[in-house]
Amino acid sequence: MNARSDATTSHLERMPVHFRCLGIGCEDVEYTTETVSIWLYGFLMRSRRELTAGTILYLRMRVPIEISGSPFCEHHGIGRVVSEHELEDGSVGYSVKFESAASSA
């Protein structure tokens, strides 16, 4: 699956992402990273933490003012790792699909 096949990417490519892995064997640690690209149904992010396809993530993301209209909007929700990608700089990235939105603050 191509990370950009779902929809056109936003002009805002880099956005901070905080995530926790959910499920058996996941430690209670919040990781901070950034998106590489964003599209309608998900995003591509860098991560030093190794993830596998199917891993469920609890996500916390600040929504850019250009999208939300507010400088204080934060999205909380659930995502699923879809695939792993080698990024242009040689680091590892993961495609994440939004599963559900818990809330926006």
Q: What distance, in Å, lies between the first and last C-alpha atoms of the chain?
A: 32
pTM of the model: 0.78
Render each residue's pLDDT in the chain as its tens digit; 105 residues.
444 444 444 445 788 899 999 988 788 899 999 999 888 789 999 998 899 999 999 999 877 777 667 777 788 899 999 999 999 889 999 999 999 865 555
Residue 47 near residue 94 (C-beta atoms within 8 A): yes
Token pair in block for residue 54: 């199917």
Choose among 85, 58, 89, 68: nearest CA to 2.
Answer: 85
CATH architecture of 16-104: Beta Barrel (2.40)
